[in-house]
Structure 1
Amino acid sequence: MADRLRLGIVGAGAIAQVGHLPALRKIRDVEVAGICDNDVVKARALADRFDIPDVFHDLSELIEFGQLDALLVCTPNHLHESHVLAGLAAGLHVLCERPLALTPAGVQKITRAQAKRDRVVMTGANHRYRPDIQMIRSFVQSGELGDLESVRAWWFMSRMARTSLGWRQRRDQAGGGAMFDLGHALIDMSLWLAGFPKVERVSAVFPERGKGVEPSGTAMLALAGGLAIHLDTSWRFVGPGERFGLSLRAAKGSARIAPLSIWREHHGVAQDVSTAGAHSRETPFLLGVRAQWAHFVAAVRGDATAAPLAEQLLGMEVMNAIYQSAESGRDVTP
């Protein structure tokens, strides 16, 4: 591998445009060598904007001619599994936007291929790398807040933000509606903060159920040790912008983001231990994406360890249980 990681991108959609490519501009160890999309006009416009030398219509061409070290997968959900497997088959390291696959079986197939090829595979989890979430996790891990008792996470978007993408309205391509789209990040963030305790049962309610995808959904996870995780998602939020947040309550403290606030008990008195940190003009989202890329590069070079794909398998099993509960009206064990 050369001094710089040669990266190919498949998928020229929104997450590549507003997330990965702006972040990669500041990652000196990565060179974006080519981009691929079935909409070549869109791919060419993005290549011109971000100085990407080559544009391809087909992933096989990108892999064959790009002389790549790694692949970024930003395609619609139903293509993730096959594109990750294609990258691994070519001997590439892969960073794939969530979800890694549409089913637990798909995640397991990728896990076997990753082990066989001995390559780094990471799933997009920029929420883990946000400075505010990192700060909260440090307090949780240190034990300063005591045992976690409740975690609440929510993500609301307006109807136009998601329903304008046709493939998101098809369950066979998207995997589901608002819960599948937004809930994967919430599940991963919440379980990661809690240290991935065993999920004992899941209960979910979707206000609208049917053959289509759900525009909103809520779920509650009961975990070993008495911890409860509450998830709330919607594609039809009425209000300014979107809403992404998390709050937690523990035996000796509490925390939330947007804005960051951390409180702990000190000699029987509630104490604000929040810290603003270094000022940045960038959003927590972009800071998280860039930190994720730094971790990916370090993992490829052997200087860091990528999160085990077993965590993604657990998240997919929990998501399956959420949909089973919403459809049956009963608690489900993942």
Structure 2
Amino acid sequence: MTTPHSPIRVGIVGVGTWARHGHLRVLALLPQYRVQAVYSEHRDRAEAAAREYAIAHIADSLDALVHHPEVDLVVVLNTAPQHEHTVRAAIAAGKNVYCEWPLTTTTAASENLVHLANDAGVRHIVGLQRRHAPHNRYLQDLLQQGYVGKLRSVRLHVSTHYLQALRANALRWTAAEENFSSVIAIYAGHFLDMLFTATGWPVSVLGLMVSQFPQVTIVETGEVLDSSAPDQLVLSGLLEDGAVISIHIEGGKRNGSGVQLDITGDAGDLKITNRSAFGDVGDDYVIEGAHGDNLPLQILPVPDSYQRLPASGLPSAVLELAELYHVYAQDVAEGTQAAATFADAVRLHRLLDAVKG
């Protein structure tokens, strides 16, 4: 049992690439947490994580992990098709639960998890961390403070060289559309949530999803997999105040990928860029703006007051994840609900359903 001053005791389910690159490093950075137990279907991965991060317990099964008496928060990091079963087990055990986005592979299943978690009275968090990043909190404040005046248009382009026709074996599960793990499911989910947390959510959308990689080749083996998962998304629509939105998200871009966001108002403009959609060390968002008419854009540094994490050399994408964990720990300590929840995941599921038509 945690007290207001004791660390949140974590049990990890799944030790794949993102668990190792992101979660384990973040949890080691933040004093609000202590990883107590780990479970993986690949026991060697669990053993390696336990050695590197001094994790006291290696669970022999999912059931043992979720019922472990020294686990307060179950962190679900296996593949999207495995999320529903794992989250259900955590809820049934009465544990607070964090699940990576996508929450599940279908809207209906995600809706059901919201009801189950709420009925059980457990806290639930979904891995939509970009909304909590310093640049996005600053952007949201700039918009609310009227920097651009009344919004007129919002244009976002996100591209990544990942998830193209050649993929590592570790990403083979992204090829099947039913796994809801395409670049559109994952990246569109993260960036649409980031954007609309700042600007407000659309009241109407039209969209197009296209698959341009009908076959995926596994690099290590040469195996060829059929794929109908989308790798291009084009979305247009309206925000509540009448602003026009235009969004393009694409995977498999060979060169020059990254993030470009342009926001136009009746009193000014903002431009937000990043050379990477999944940032390494130094891949930070740059915010530029001009308040007035026909003026050059000037860099608007994110004020130091928006920085709230311990100093580290972690990549920028990993630090975004740390922001979500920071917010959740604050929620637990103060009884608030600021971290992204399963309900936020459902809203995103519904938006992508509307785009797909």
Distance 1:55 1:128 in 2: 33
1:300 to partner: Cα distance: 2.4
Deviation, 1:44, is 0.9
The AA in structure 2 aligned to 1:295 is V
Superposition map of 1:39-78 within 5 A = 39-78=42-81
Distance 1:294 1:53, change over 3 A: same
**Structure 1 match to 2:291:** 265
- Say if 2:210 is the partner of 1:206: yes
RMSD of the TM alignment (CA)? 2.4
Q: Tell me by how many angstroms 1:142 deviates.
A: 1.7
1:263-322 deviation digits (Å, cap 9, x = unpaired): 022376445251155597443322211121111112223443134543322210121233
Aligned to 1:256, which of 265, 268, 272? 272
What is the percentage of aligned positions where both structures have the same residue? 18
Partner-residue secondary structure (3-state), 2:229: coil
Question: Is 2:199 the partner of 1:194?
Answer: yes
| Residue aligning to 2:221 | none
Instruction: Report what 1:291 is aligned to.
Output: 323
SS in 1 for 2:71: coil
2:200 corresponds to which letter in structure 1?
G
**Code of the aligned partner of 2:183:** A
Classify 1:166/1:122 alpha carbon distance in 2 versus 1 (closer, same or farther; 3 Å).
same
* Gap regions ≥5 residues in structure 1: 325-334
Q: Secondary structure at the match of 1:219?
A: strand
Q: Which amino acid aligns with 2:188?
A: G
The answer for the alignment partner of 1:83 in structure 2 is 86
The equivalent residue for 1:245 is: 259
Distance verdict in 2 for CA 1:162–1:126, change over 3 Å: farther
Deviation at 1:215, TM superposition (A): 5.9
Distance 2:96 2:136 in 1: 26
Q: Is the 8 A contact 1:5 1:30 kept in 2?
A: yes
Taking structure 2 as the reference length, the TM-score comes to 0.81
Aligned counterparts of 2:140 and 2:25: Cα–Cα separation in 1: 26
- The equivalent position to 1:216 in structure 2, one of 203, 209, 231, is 231
* Alignment CA distance shift 1:107-1:93 (3 Å): same
- Show the counterpart of 1:329: none
Do structure 1's residue 310 and structure 2's residue 343 form an aligned pair?
Answer: yes
**Where do 5+ consecutive residues of structure 2 fail to align?**
215-225, 275-284, 305-310
CA distance in 1 between counterparts of 2:301 and 2:181 reads 38
Deviation string, structure 1 residues 5-40 (Cα, Å, up to 9, x no partner):
111010101111011111111211211011111000
Contact 2:176-2:229 within 8 A present in 1 as well: no
Q: 1:176 to 1:18 in 2, by over 3 A?
A: closer
CA 1:88/1:265 → structure 2, altered by over 3 Å: closer, same or farther?
same
Secondary structure class of the residue paired with 1:127: helix
